[in-house]
Amino acid sequence: MSSLEQMYQQVIMDHAREAHGRGLKDLDLIQVGESHQVNTTCGDEIRLRVGLDGDTVASVTWEGQGCSISQASVSVLHELVEGESLEESERTMEAFRDLMQAKGEGLDEDREDLLGDATAFVGVGKYPARIKCAMLGWAAFKDALIQARKDQ
Amino acid sequence: MSSLEQMYQQVIMDHAREAHGRGLKDLDLIQVGESHQVNTTCGDEIRLRVGLDGDTVASVTWEGQGCSISQASVSVLHELVEGESLEESERTMEAFRDLMQAKGEGLDEDREDLLGDATAFVGVGKYPARIKCAMLGWAAFKDALIQARKDQ
Amino acid sequence: MLLPDLREDFPLLNRTVRNGKPLVYLDSGATAQKPRVVLDAERDFYEQHNAAVQRGAHLLAEEATELFEGARTDVASFVGAGPDEIVWAENATAALNLVASGIGNASAGIGGEDSAQFRIGPGDEICVTQTEHHANLVPWQALATRTGATLRWIPVDSEGRIILDDLDSLVNDRTRVLAFTHASNVTGIISPVTALVARAKAVGALTVLDGCQSVPHLPVDVKALDIDFMAMSAHKMLGPTGIGALYGRKDLLDALPPSIFGGGAVKIVSMEETSWLEAPMRFEAGSQPVAQAVGMGAAARYLSALGMDRVEEHEREIAAIMRAGVAEIPGVRLLGPVGDADARDVIGVAAVVVDGVHPHDVGQVLDDAGVAVRVGHHCNQPLHRHFGVTGSTRASAHVYTTAEDAHAFVEALAGVPAFFGVNR
Amino acid sequence: MLLPDLREDFPLLNRTVRNGKPLVYLDSGATAQKPRVVLDAERDFYEQHNAAVQRGAHLLAEEATELFEGARTDVASFVGAGPDEIVWAENATAALNLVASGIGNASAGIGGEDSAQFRIGPGDEICVTQTEHHANLVPWQALATRTGATLRWIPVDSEGRIILDDLDSLVNDRTRVLAFTHASNVTGIISPVTALVARAKAVGALTVLDGCQSVPHLPVDVKALDIDFMAMSAHKMLGPTGIGALYGRKDLLDALPPSIFGGGAVKIVSMEETSWLEAPMRFEAGSQPVAQAVGMGAAARYLSALGMDRVEEHEREIAAIMRAGVAEIPGVRLLGPVGDADARDVIGVAAVVVDGVHPHDVGQVLDDAGVAVRVGHHCNQPLHRHFGVTGSTRASAHVYTTAEDAHAFVEALAGVPAFFGVNR
Ligand SMILES: Cc1ncc(COP(=O)(O)O)c(C=O)c1O
Ligand SMILES: Cc1ncc(COP(=O)(O)O)c(C=O)c1O
């Protein structure tokens, strides 16, 4: 498998083609946070909304345009964290960041388990310019969480 | 004679030590011009006043501080042009500029005759940074002449 | 006629990239590669003549000053200007800002009566076009904010051409500055300079030309164009990074106040006040980019030796190959004029949009084939928005671009839709 | 203890000058010579990795970005800053202007509420000192003109030391900025940073340090000094021409509006308005001085490898030789502190005045002996005026300066009065 094919694995292509969580959901929750992030390389923008229900990440929806990597990544993010506990989400975020930094090498089994489908992004780590793309939704999620907690 | 000695010839040293024309003279003439020039390399300043009497450069006086080259040069300028006709002064100015551009070579006999003592500045032409020093008074003279003629 | 293959002059072009593939460098619109003569000129400066210029009295300082001012003369004659009409700046962006900030400073009282001609304020207008690079848009937005003047712009049509229909109302008696690009960095279209300058002159507006994409690629003569200011970038014309230049008409430069203040630009400084030197020195505060100037001078000489007429012709032929090739790929759209007739007034740029594939993804596939292109908005968001996209994939040529490079781009691009499973 | 002789690392130092004499380069205060590692780093960048940074998705662009940002990290750690607290600028002058113009722009409404903390106007004060280089004086004069604020300055004593007696009234509740040099480029005196910073903090004024003459010569840690901004120049620290850097506290940099506007510095641009990126990108509009950054990074690494403590000690010993030698020449006056006790807080600079001989003439005689020094006011007219002279002759050392160089300077200087027939 070439590096290029490793980056654009089938899972990623599928998520990119049919992204999950797209469309900002109106939330009837007290703790809601939103974040707008821009990838300055290409002008791609994402707006992501998080709703917390106690310790649970009850809702993660988003809107925006982007490359297949950024779209697939936010789609996977939605799948991974919606419905999970805050704590688990934080761990997942951390694992994903580690994966991006791993220069194309995998992570240990525990963290890969945590990431599930998201381990397919391992190939992105070989392309520093694309890490930004993969991180766009995650950066928005991190920031939205902070906003949501502020509303406590 | 080294290049340095060629630049600092005795005539120049003498003029530098005892500069002529120093001290701005109050002039009872109709056509008077003044110019202030700064050598930005070292901050030296000169103020030079010219009085015209018909076609004659009746008075050339100046005040200011500077290196031996600039002081000697304006002193020689005073000697050369005060009392001369405007036309002769212009020719002298031109010859002096040519000498500065001559990279240390002399000029033809006619122009050297015109320059008299000022031919001693021939060595300055080898030091581009010092040409500015030698030209300071002459630039002021040129500008003051323009001013004086404006007052016609 | 194409230029001979110049690859031997450009060390970097001989390296390989991903998967050991030879490099096909088509990102010259972003930055050009450097010929050995430019690198040698810089290195020789550092190894033999490096010193502070214009102020030293020692031998090295004299030599350095001579090389530095010689480079200014080289760059000046490259664009038909006088040497003291050339101001070094960090890049073209800085050169454009120098004009905008100078006007802003004049309006704030800096420069006193000498600079009064540049003062603008509420009621005055600044005009740009819809095809400007951010570098020739944002400084004018900021100037408008600072002074209370109004920013207007001339729109472009669906192919990206400046629309002249409403020129007389857009550039009017209130217009003080008309700033526009000579050639678009997205569509490659060469602007109707003559018409724009004529209108600006008629209303007494200053003209500011962004020469970033013209000076490296075609013969440019500032006097023939009759413009007041022009910005250019060394790194796009085979010169070093870290330097650009502003051309300005001498009388204007001598009156415009500086916007970077410091040593070397001033005549007399007391604790209370300062008087400026004449141009170009008044704009070159601080230690100058000396080695870079020497490199830019060498680049101008290299281009002159090739002949800018031939350069223009070469790049036009390369553009034609790319444009014709792109036109044959289903699902790929060219931004800018389409079709043969238009190729006459377009520089060697082809920005494309692949239906259903994001530019970043397009670029990645090209990169994998060794083809280096630019993806994104190329610092020109408004024009992309006008075309209904956020970004594009841009191939751009230079003197060293070969017909093979152009074909390689087309071939790699043709494989993109299939790779992403679109357009089947 | 002196450093080992480093001449082999510096190609230029091995050339000869007038009359075939070996070069004695004592003009490092103006600009330093470059070690081969710096030149090689730049050349390698151009020959192997040159590309536009931060925007490209191709391999070269990735490599170039990595080198560029790596250099930022190197320079940051050299002065104890975080990488995103380092902004590249054309030189130190540009870095200082970036702060002054940013404040001016904030005061003119640019940056909106985010930048409101920087707004100044009539009634506010900006304070500098009497020992500033023009680069750290004229921008503040211009800012005062632009905003209506008042410029004040802290005087120096007869040796050129900053007088702290009236500090509390000079830096007061109205003071918004205190800008001062870390080390004087004329007297070599190191400023009382601690006292000045403490007072500025007490009144809530921003502190701006001119690090041009300290960063290349002694260990500098911006966090230990607790300053808000610091300017530095690559070319004085063995790096390339055409680049310098500004250190700024991250929270301040993120709020200060830019003063050079263009691509790469902006987030979203429409024809009407623009939002800025965070620091440092918001201040780096246009194509960056990439090769120069790489060179500056290499210079920082070279100096770090020598060890800045040892560099400081080395130059102090060189200074002691020069100062002791000068003191023995009749008719020669040293500007700045005289005598042994003071040598402790002075960098490797000796500016002298020869009675009855103009600095230009002094410099010429030295030049003839192969000794390259700086003559004139060294972009510091107010201090020279304070000393009652228009200019001086300055010898300045760096890591490569040898004891022999220092002796050669003293010897050549000793011959000056006789050459001009004074002091007999
Ligand atoms: C103390 C001081 N400040 C500022 C500067 C200006 O630095 P640059 O010329 O790199 O802008 C210099 C050197 O010229 C200096 O010595
Ligand atoms: C049309 C145009 N204008 C301005 C610029 C900015 O030039 P620089 O990056 O050298 O400041 C560019 C290139 O980036 C450009 O293509």
Per-residue pLDDT tens for C379-406? 999 999 999 998 999 999 999 999 999 9
* Chain C CB contacts of D231 below 8 Å: none
Give the A window 17-36 contacts with C, CB below 8 Å: 17
Taking each helix axis from N to C end, the angle separating D290-306 and D59-78, rounded to the nearest 10 degrees, works out to 40
How many angstroms separate the CA atoms of C127 and C148, rounded?
A: 14
Q: What is the predicted pLDDT for the residue at C19?
A: 87
Q: Do A7 and C364 count as a contact with CB atoms less than 8 A apart? A: yes
What DSSP string runs through D27-82? BTTT-----HHHHHHHHHIIIII---TTT--SHHHHHHHHHHHHHHHHHHHHTT--
Torsion from C-alpha of B132, B133, B136, B139, nearest 10 degrees: -30
| Four-CA torsion D292, D295, D301, D302, nearest 10 degrees | -130
Calpha distance D54→C34 (Å, rounded): 20
Distance between CA D198 and CA C390 in Å, rounded? 50
Domains of chain D: 4-30+307-419 (3.90.1150.10), 41-304 (3.40.640.10)
- Nearest residue to C318 (alpha-carbon basis) of C350, C359, C363, C351: C350
- The two tokens of residue B112 are 């050297």
**pLDDT value at residue D383:** 96
How far is the C-alpha of D95 from the C-alpha of C309, rounded, in Å?
A: 40
Cβ–Cβ below 8 Å for C90 and D242: yes
Distance to chain B for D187, nearest Cα, Å: 17
Q: Comparing C-alpha atoms, which of B48, B148, B10 is closest to residue D421? A: B10
Sheet holding D349-354, edge to edge: D332-335, D349-354, D392-396, D374-376
C376 close to A41: Cβ distance less than 8 angstroms = yes
CB atoms near residue C73 (< 10 Å): 16
* Beta-ladder partners of B46: B37, B64
The pLDDT score that the predictor gives to residue D269 is: 80
Distance from the Cα of D225 to chain B's closest Cα (Å) equals: 34
How many angstroms separate the CA atoms of B92 and B97, rounded? 9
Tell me the domains of chain A and their CATH numbers: 3-150 (3.90.1010.10)
In the stretch 45-104 of chain B, residues with CB closer than 8 A to chain C read: 45
Of D261, D373, D381, the CB nearest to C97: D261
Min Cα separation A139/chain C (Å):
19
CB-based contact C145:D110 (threshold 8 Å): yes
Catalytic residues of D: 379
Q: Which of D54, D62, D277 sits opposite A127 (nearest CB)?
A: D62
Residue D89: both structure tokens together: 């600028």
Q: Is C306 left (phi over 0), alpha (psi -120 to 50) or beta?
A: alpha
Over pLDDT 70: what percentage of chain C? 98
The CB of C55 under 6 Å from ligand 1? The reply is no
Chain B residues touching C56 at Cβ < 8 A: 129
Identify the DSSP state of C148. Answer: -
The enclosing H or E element of C42 equals: helix C36-44
Residue D62: partners with Cβ closer than 8 Å, 6 or more residues away = A127, A128, A129, D56
Q: Is B135 on the interface with D (CB under 8 A)?
A: no
- Contact C99/C93 with Cβ under 8 angstroms? no
Q: Residue D249 has what pLDDT?
A: 98
How many angstroms separate the CA atoms of D388 and B140, rounded?
A: 25
Q: Which residues of chain B have a CB within 8 Å of the CB of C54? A: 41
CB pair distance less than 8 Å for C57 and B128: no
Residues C80, C85, C88, CA angle at the centre, nearest 5°? 105
Residue linked to tokens 């320079």: D75
Show the tokens assigned to D338. Answer: 């005289």
- What is the rounded CA–CA span in Å between residue C345 and residue C104? 35
Q: Which SS3 state, helix, strand or coil, does residue A31 take?
A: strand
Nearest-by-Cβ selection for B41 from D357, D376, D381: D376
Report how far apart, in Å, the C-alpha atoms of C223 and of each of C213, C216, D283 are.
18, 17, 33
Preceding peptide of C192 cis, ω within 30°: no
Whether D139 and C261 have beta carbons less than 8 Å apart is answered as yes
Counting Cβ atoms within 10 Å, is residue B24 exposed (0-12), middle (13-18) or buried (19+)? Answer: middle
Angle of helix A128-150 versus helix C359-368 axis, rounded to 10:
150
Distances in whole angstroms, Cα of residue C59 to Cα of each of C51, C64, C66, D324: 9, 9, 11, 27
Query: To which residue do tokens 């012709």 refer?
Result: C313
Model confidence at A42, in pLDDT bands (50, 70, 90)?
Answer: confident
pTM above 0.90, yes or no: yes
- Whole-number Å distance between alpha carbons of A51 and A89: 13
Q: Give the C-alpha separation, C211 to C182, whole Å.
A: 5
Each residue's pLDDT tens digit, D11-47? 999 999 998 999 999 999 999 999 999 999 999 999 9
Q: Chain A partners of C375 at a C-beta cutoff of 8 Å?
A: 41-42
**Two tokens, residue A6:** 């490793």
The closest ligand to the CA of C245 turns out to be 2
- Tell me how crowded residue C63 is: count the other CB atoms within 10 A of its CB: 19
Indicate the top mutation candidate among D138, D233, D238, D377 to test ligand 1's pocket, ranked by most ligand atoms within 8 A of CB: D233
Query: Given 3-state DSSP classes, what are the helix, strand and coil percentages for chain A, each rounded to the nearest 5?
Result: 55, 20, 25
ipTM: 0.94
Least-confidence region, from B97-111, C22-36, D143-157: B97-111
Rg value, chain D, Cα: 22
User: pLDDT at position D273, please?
Assistant: 80
Task: Say how far apart CA D54 and CA D280 lie, in whole Å.
Answer: 12
Count CB atoms within 10 A of the CB of residue D194: 11
- Cβ of D281 and A40 within 8 Å? yes
Neighbouring chains of A at 3+ CB pairs under 8 Å are C, D
Instruction: Decide: C91 in ligand 2 pocket, CB within 6 A.
Output: yes
Considering chain C, what is the average pLDDT of its residues? Answer: 95
CB distance D232 to D92 below 8 Å: yes
Q: What is the mean pLDDT of residues D221-236?
A: 98
Q: Which ligand is nearest to the CA of C347?
A: 2
Residues C139-145, mean pLDDT to the nearest whole number: 95
pLDDT tens-digit profile of C281-323? Answer: 999 999 999 999 999 999 999 999 999 999 999 999 999 999 9
How many Å apart are CA C55 and CA D217, to the nearest integer? 22
Residue of chain B with shortest Cα separation from C263: B40
> Along the 152 residues of chain B, how does pLDDT read in single tens digits?
788 988 999 999 999 999 999 999 999 988 999 999 988 777 789 999 999 999 999 999 999 989 999 999 999 999 999 999 999 999 999 999 999 999 989 899 999 999 998 999 999 999 988 999 999 999 999 999 999 988 55
B2 touching chain C per CB within 8 A: no
C203, C324, C379, C414: the catalytic one is C379
Report residue C75 as tokens.
Answer: 């760059």
**DSSP, residue by residue, D288-351:** --HHHHHHHHHHHHHHHHH-HHHHHHHHHHHHHHHHHHHHTSTTEEEES--SGGGGGGB-SEEE
**Residue D368: pLDDT band with limits 50, 70, 90:** very high
Q: Using 50, 70 and 90 to split pLDDT, how confident is the model at A151? A: low
Is the pLDDT reported for residue A150 higher than 80? Answer: yes
Mean pLDDT of D97-102: 97
Chains C and D touch (3+ CB pairs under 8 A): yes
How do strand C175-181 and strand C125-129 relate by DSSP bridges? parallel
Share of chain D residues as helix, strand and coil, in percent rounded to the nearest 5: 45, 20, 40
Contact assessment for residue C142 and residue C118, using Cβ atoms and an 8 Å cutoff: no
- Among the listed residues D386, D390, D418, the one whose alpha carbon sits nearest the alpha carbon of residue D189: D386
Could you identify the residue written with the tokens 């079709």? C339
The answer to whether the CB atoms of D57 and A129 lie below 8 A apart is yes
**Spacing of C-alpha A152 from chain mean position:** 24
**pLDDT value for C343:** 58
Please report the sign of the dihedral spanned by the C-alpha atoms of residue C69, residue C70, residue C76, residue C80. Answer: positive
Q: Is the pLDDT of residue D56 over 80?
A: no
Residue D55 CB less than 6 A away from ligand 2: no
What residue of A is the nearest CA neighbor of C381?
Answer: A43
Contact C396, C28 (CB under 8 A): yes
Average pLDDT for A121-136:
92
CB contacts of B41 in chain C (<8 Å) are 54-55, 57
pLDDT of amino acid C173: 98
If you average pLDDT over residues C104-125, what whole number do you get? 95
CA D252 to chain centre: 21
